[in-house]
C-alpha cells in the first residue's frame, strides 16, 4: 500500500503521523512511504532520517494526497486539506467530529474512509490511541495552569506549592479518567491541594487507592461542582465521553463565582469543552479572559511537546497502520472490532452514532456500511 505522511497544518502543530522508525517497519513489510518535506522537523526528525528509513520525500501536500491510498496524520485536516481527499482514500488521524459540523460535512463530501484515533477501542474497553495523548495533556495541564497563575501572565499570583506558612493552591479536576489521574499526579507532585470530581464511584476509588488518600475525591453533582469551583485557583476540565460532545459541567453562571485571576485549563475542548465559557484557542494565542477568569483551551495541547507526543502516539498507532496496510481497509475493519470502532465517515455517510446524535443528523451503522462481518 502507498502510505502518505503530510506535514501538519494546524497552528503550531509539530507532531508528525509517523516516525522514521515506524516508516522503516512499514517499508520492511513491503509498503511504499511518501513523506512531505519538513513534516518531521518540529519533532526533531530530519528529511534525511526518513530517506534513510526508505521513504520518498516530496515537496508540498499535493503529491501526498494525489497518490497515497492511506493518509496518516495527527490532527484533523483543515479546510485546505479536506478538498484534497479522494473517494475511497483512507484517512487515519484524530478527528473529534462531534462538536465540528463543518468538518463532518466536508469529510462526508470527500467520499473518503475516515478512521478516528480517539474512538478505536481495546479489548479491555479503553481507548488505546487516545490514551497516550490524554496522558500528555493531563501531565501538561498543571504546569500550564501554574504558569498562567503567575501575576505577569494575568493570574492570581499564586504558587501551586505555597511555602511554609502559606497554603498551597487549590487544584480542582473534573474527571477521574486518564487525563484527570495524570493531572492529579503532577499537581500533587507540584505540591498543590488536589480535589477530583467524577460521577463514577469506581474511578474515584481507584484514584483514592493510587494516591493513598492524598487526593480528595468527591462525587460529582451540580451542587458539589458549584461549591468546589468557588475554591479553585486552577480548574482542569478532564471530562470525556468517547466520540460524543463533552457535557457542560461548569455553567456560565458558575464562572463569576471563581476567584479573580483563577485559571481554567479545559483539556476537554477537543470534544467541545466541559465549561460553558470555553471556546477553542491555539498555541499562538492560547488564553482569553472571561468574567475575570483566565481560560486556556488549546485544542492540540500535546503539540507543545511534539517529540514526546509523537513517539507516544506512534507506539500506539503503528500496529493499526500496519494492519490497514497489510490487509487493506475492508478486511482490517471487518476482522478487528476495535479498529472498526474508529470508523467515523464511510463513503459519504456518518457511521458514528455519537457524532450523528451530537449533530442531529442521520447515520449509517458500521455493520451496514461494511456488509457481513463474518
Catalytic residue selected from 31, 96, 295, 363 = 96
Query: Which residues, listed in sequence order, are joined to residue 315 by a DSSP beta bridge?
Result: none
**Does residue 106 carry a catalytic annotation?**
no
DSSP string, 110-171: HT-EEEEGGG---TTS--TTTHHHHHHHHHHHHHHHHHHTSGGGTS----TT-BTTBPPPEE
Buried b (16+ CB within 10 A) or exposed e, 127-165: bbbbbbbbbbbbbbbbebbbebbeeeeebbebbbeeeee
CA–CA distance, 173 with 201 (Å, rounded to integer)? 15
Question: Of 80, 109, 113, 3, whose CA–CA distance to 345 is shortest?
Answer: 113
Catalytic residue selected from 198, 233, 266, 270 = 270
**Does residue 96 carry a catalytic annotation?**
yes
CA–CA distance, 185 with 328 (Å, rounded to integer)? 41
CA–CA distance, 365 with 62 (Å, rounded to integer)? 32
Active site residues: 96, 270
Amino acid at each position: 500500500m502507498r502510505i502518505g505522511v503530510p506535514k501538519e497544518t494546524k497552528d503550531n502543530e509539530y507532531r508528525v503521523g509517523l516516525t522514521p522508525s515506524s516508516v522503516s517497519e512499514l517499508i520492511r513489510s513491503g509498503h511504499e512511504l511518501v513523506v512531505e518535506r519538513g513534516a518531521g522537523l518540529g519533532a526533531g526528525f530530519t528529511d534525511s532520517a526518513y530517506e534513510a528509513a526508505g521513504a520518498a520525500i516530496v515537496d508540498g501536500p499535493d503529491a501526498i494526497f494525489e497518490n497515497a491510498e492511506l493518509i496518516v496524520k495527527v490532527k484533523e485536516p483543515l479546510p485546505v486539506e479536506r478538498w484534497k481527499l479522494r473517494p475511497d482514500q483512507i484517512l487515519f488521524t484524530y478527528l473529534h467530529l462531534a462538536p465540528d459540523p463543518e468538518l463532518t460535512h466536508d469529510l462526508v463530501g470527500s467520499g473518503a474512509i475516515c478512521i478516528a484515533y480517539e474512538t478505536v477501542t481495546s479489548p479491555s474497553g479503553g481507548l488505546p490511541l487516545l490514551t497516550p495523548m490524554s496522558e500528555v495533556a493531563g501531565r501538561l495541564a498543571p504546569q500550564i495552569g501554574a504558569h498562567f497563575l503567575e501575576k505577569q501572565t494575568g493570574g492570581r499570583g499564586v504558587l501551586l506549592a505555597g511555602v511554609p506558612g502559606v497554603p498551597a493552591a487549590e487544584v480542582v479536576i473534573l474527571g477521574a479518567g486518564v487525563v484527570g489521574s495524570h493531572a492529579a499526579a503532577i499537581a500533587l507532585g507540584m505540591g498543590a491541594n488536589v480535589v477530583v470530581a467524577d460521577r463514577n464511584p469506581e474511578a474515584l476509588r481507584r484514584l483514592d487507592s493510587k494516591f493513598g488518600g492524598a487526593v480528595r475525591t468527591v462525587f460529582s453533582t451540580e451542587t458539589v461542582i458549584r461549591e468546589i469551583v468557588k475554591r479553585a485557583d486552577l480548574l482542569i476540565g478532564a471530562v470525556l465521553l468517547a466520540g460524543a460532545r463533552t457535557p457542560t459541567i461548569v455553567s456560565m453562571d458558575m464562572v463569576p463565582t471563581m476567584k479573580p485571576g483563577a485559571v481554567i485549563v479545559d483539556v476537554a475542548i477537543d470534544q467541545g469543552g466541559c465549561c460553558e465559557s470555553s471556546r477553542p484557542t491555539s498555541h499562538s494565542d492560547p488564553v482569553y479572559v472571561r468574567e475575570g477568569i483566565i481560560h486556556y483551551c488549546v485544542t492540540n495541547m500535546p503539540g507543545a511537546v511534539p517529540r514526546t507526543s509523537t513517539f507516544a502516539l506512534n507506539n500506539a498507532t503503528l500496529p493499526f497502520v500496519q494492519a490497514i496496510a497489510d490487509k487493506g481497509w475492508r478486511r482490517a475493519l471487518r476482522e478487528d472490532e476495535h479498529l472498526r470502532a474508529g470508523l467515523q465517515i464511510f463513503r459519504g455517510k456518518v457511521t458514528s452514532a455519537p457524532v450523528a446524535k451530537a449533530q442531529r443528523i442521520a447515520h449509517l451503522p458500521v455493520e451496514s456500511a461494511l456488509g457481513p462481518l463474518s
